[in-house]
Amino acid sequence: MYDWDETPDLNITPLVDVMLVLMAILMISAPTIHYEEQISLPDGSQSKELSKSRELNIKIDAKGMVYINKSKFSSLDEFADEFVLKSVDYKKDSFIYIYGDKGIIYGKVIKLLGVIKKQGFAKVSLITQ
């Protein structure tokens, strides 16, 4: 009937397959898991923000016209001169957003960025769609 002296063969292929699938699921889902620590902060004095840093919107169209908020400049050189004067009204940690037309030459946008950086502004963003 049965031969007890024979050693049975173990087929571990299905076990390996299942473990590999589970490992793949773990690897894919692990980066999406977020742990949140519940921290109760102490009460402090209530104070209002004294000065909110203003933002500055600068637009350059396909013809090279530069717009700073509501003002219009016919060239980058004219803008550069005026920006030196207007930059005094803004804090150096103000946010500056540059909207460049997709038909504009890349070098003009870089020149505009250079003018802004030269005045000491660090928080400059190029806005895209």
> pLDDT digit string (tens) for 2-61?
666 677 677 889 999 999 999 999 999 888 877 665 555 556 555 555 555 577 888 888
Q: Phi first, then psi: what are they for 114, rounded to 5°?
A: -65, -40
Question: pLDDT grade, residue 82 (50/70/90)?
Answer: confident
Which residue has tokens 């016919």? 74
Matching CATH number, 55-127, of 3.90.1150.10, 3.40.50.150, 3.40.50.720, 3.30.420.270: 3.30.420.270
Give me the chain's average pLDDT, please. Answer: 79
pLDDT, one tens digit per residue, over 29-44 is 888 877 665 555 556 5
Give me the pLDDT at residue 123, please: 84
Which of the pair, 6 or 100, is modelled with greater confidence? 100
Rounded-to-integer distance, Cα 96 and Cα 79, Å: 15
Rounded-to-integer distance, Cα 9 and Cα 92, Å: 75
Q: Where are the domains of the chain?
A: 55-127
3-state secondary structure the chain: CCCCCCCCCCCCHHHHHHHHHHHHHHHHHHHHCCCCCCCCCCCCCCCCCCCCCCEEEEEECCCCCEEECCEEECCHHHHHHHHHHHHHHCCCCCEEEEEECCCCCHHHHHHHHHHHHHCCCCCEEEECC
